[in-house]
Amino acid sequence: MDEEQIGDVWTLFRDYMDKKQVAVAAEKFVDLLSDYGIEDAEFRSVIGIDSVLDEAITGYLESDEDE
Residue boundaries of the structural domains of the chain: 3-66
As a 3-state breakdown, the chain gives helix, strand, coil percent values, each rounded to 5, of 80, 0, 20
Count of CB atoms situated within 10 Å of the CB of 9: 13
* Extended strands (E) in the chain: none
For the cut 80, the answer to whether the pLDDT of residue 64 exceeds it is no
> Residue 22: what residue type?
V
Pick 1 or 24 by higher pLDDT: 24
pLDDT in tens, 6-61: 999 999 999 999 999 999 999 999 999 999 999 999 999 999 999 999 999 999 99
